[in-house]
């Protein structure tokens, strides 16, 4: 078997393990599914009248507008949960056993990221299903859904890279878990939940430059109006930026982990 095929097998096995691990532990799956779904319901029901505000983009319903935000929240928390599970593996010595195995070290990180990306894919499908069941129209049709799903999956991979880097660097599940509030801050300071033009300062200005806002708009556009090349490219550029950051941080953290053991 070629090296590439072996690596792909390792990545697939570790990715499948991380997905099973997430679905078996309520504390890992609930932030990805339960909390974003609950918040989607509450925010749609509670702030739905916001679509009547002057300046709100034309949408069929607030649920349609909010779907992208819920996907982003779920995707960010999937990255965080992936980091926590990775840190638990380090704490319990499982990663040490993998380091001793005759497999490339980067495959260990890639396996975890593959699992996180799969959870991002699951989040996109879950929220599309909820949206369609509760009457949200997807203006971009099937191609729009596929594009949005691909963007959510890719951004889960990107954010997972940062979670994995922190897990590798600290080797502590509680430290990674402590980043949960930061995830909320990044979300609130983006256009995930409301149009950026209608937000209150300083959140409005921060949201304008927050990379997550570009990703959210890239995911939202196919849902509320149709595929837009500019916003898609901006979202892809933001995801690539986070991927590069995650890879650099992960590579450095991996070297650190191998050095300190």
| Alpha helix ranges (H) inside the chain | 3-24, 26-29, 34-47, 62-91, 94-100, 105-133, 141-170, 173-177, 180-188, 203-209, 211-224, 229-260
| C-alpha torsion sign, points 21, 27, 32, 33 | positive
Quote the least distance from Cβ 121 to other proteins, whole Å: 22
What's the DSSP call for residue 216? H
Closer residue to other proteins, CB minimum distance, 59 or 157 = 59
CB of 110 to other proteins, least distance (A): 28
Q: Which is nearer to other proteins, 7 or 37 (CB)?
A: 37
Closest separation in Å from C-beta 198 to other proteins:
5
Residue with Cβ nearer other proteins (142 or 200):
200
Nearer to other proteins, 30 or 225 (CB): 30
Instruction: State the Cα torsion 216-222-228-232 to the nearest 10°.
Output: 40
Q: Which is nearer to other proteins, 208 or 228 (CB)?
A: 208
Chain centre to alpha carbon of residue 32: 9
Q: Give the angle subtended at the CA of 96 by the CAs of 175 and 162, to the nearest 5°.
A: 40
Least distance from other proteins to the Cβ atom of residue 166, Å:
17
**Closest approach of other proteins to the CB of residue 200, in Å:** 4
Residues making contact with other proteins (CB under 8 A): 25-27, 30-31, 34-35, 38-39, 41-50, 52-53, 178, 180-181, 184-185, 187-189, 193-194, 198-200, 202-204
């Amino acid at each position: 078997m070629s090296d590439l095929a072996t690596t792909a097998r390792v990545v697939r096995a570790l990715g499948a393990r991380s997905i099973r691990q997430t679905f078996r532990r309520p504390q890992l799956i609930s932030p990805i599914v339960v909390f974003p779904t609950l918040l989607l319901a509450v925010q749609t029901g509670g702030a739905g009248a916001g679509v009547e505000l002057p300046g709100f983009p034309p949408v069929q319903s607030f649920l349609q507008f909010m779907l992208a935000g819920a996907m982003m929240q779920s995707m960010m928390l999937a990255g965080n949960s992936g980091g926590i599970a990775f840190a638990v593996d380090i704490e319990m010595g499982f990663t040490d056993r993998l380091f001793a195995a005759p497999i490339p070290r980067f495959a260990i990180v890639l396996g975890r990221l593959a699992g996180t990306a799969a959870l991002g894919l699951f989040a996109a499908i879950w929220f599309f299903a909820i949206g369609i069941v509760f009457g949200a129209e997807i203006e971009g049709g099937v191609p729009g859904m596929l594009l949005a799903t691909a963007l959510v999956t890719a951004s889960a991979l990107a954010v997972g890279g940062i979670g994995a880097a922190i897990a590798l660097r600290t080797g502590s599940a509680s430290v990674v878990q402590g980043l949960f509030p930061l995830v909320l801050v990044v979300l609130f300071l983006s256009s995930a939940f409301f149009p950026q033009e209608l937000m209150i300062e300083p959140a409005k200005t921060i949201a304008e430059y927050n990379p997550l806002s570009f990703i959210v708009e890239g995911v939202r556009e196919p849902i509320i109006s149709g595929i837009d090349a500019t916003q898609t490219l901006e979202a892809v550029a933001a995801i690539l930026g986070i991927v590069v950051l995650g890879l650099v941080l992960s590579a450095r953290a991996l070297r650190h982990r191998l050095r300190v053991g």
